Amino acid sequence: MRRHMTEDRQSAEVSGPLPDQPRGGRRVLLRSGLIAVCAILVILGGFAEFWRQSASLKGPDKADAEGIVVLTGGPERISTAIRLLENKAAKRLLISGVHPQTTARQLRQITGTERDLFRCCIDLDKRAADTRGNAVEAAEWARDKGFTRLLIVTSDYHILRAMKEFSRVMPEAELMACPVAGSDGHDPLHSTASLKLWFSEYLKYLLALVRIQIGN
């Protein structure tokens, strides 16, 4: 009988903690859920701030630059930059990131620009393949021309990352942002496609910040 009592006690000791295991599992799930919610709130808050900063950047009312750099991509970017050049906002324009097979004549026809303006005052960069490349090529162009005041023209969703990249390679230059609210972006809440575009650019912006910080 004593042996039976001992076995019962051992069995109770073994089975005793089992009721606590589901509670521990629920705690882990609850903690994981709270962490996930906090992470989502941080990401959404950062995205809202990214949108606010992008929207707060406006082109200068009266630009007094030496050069204009436009980054290819959005449909309205080049036409905006050419209008600025025509209005004498700067002396020369660099169109950065042009496809290697695209000619000046094709661009002139697409944008409806006068031949003389293209010949005298517009340069094409066909080497840049991304925003970092745009900044590097523009820095070389500006130093070659002796320019220290530049207008940077690109889409509004892209302007923050572009300004960071340009500031990194041209810390001595005065850079003026000229964001373009194009048909490819609108604002994040305009459509699902716009939201995806803006959020994708937000993630690229964060990666650029990390890379630049590590590089420094």
Residue 159 lies in a domain: yes
Looking at every residue in the chain, the average pLDDT score rounds to 86
Average pLDDT over residues 135-162: 96
Average pLDDT over residues 21-34: 73
Q: Which two tokens stand for residue 7?
A: 């076995």
The domain tally of the chain equals: 1
- Look at residue 17 and tell me whether its pLDDT is greater than 80: no
CATH number at residue 148: 3.40.50.620
Residue 46 lies in a domain: no
Tell how far CA 166 is from the center of its chain: 13
Helix residue ranges, H only, 76-114: 77-86, 104-111
Give the pLDDT score at 28.
Answer: 74
Q: Which domain holds residue 157?
A: 58-185
Average pLDDT over residues 93-116: 93
- Look at residue 5 and tell me whether its pLDDT is greater than 70: no
| Res. 185 pLDDT band, cuts 50 70 90 | low
pTM for the model stands at 0.81
Tell how far CA 21 is from the center of its chain: 46
* DSSP β-ladder status, 122-125 and 174-180: unpaired
| Res. 12 pLDDT band, cuts 50 70 90 | very low
Average pLDDT over residues 23-46: 78
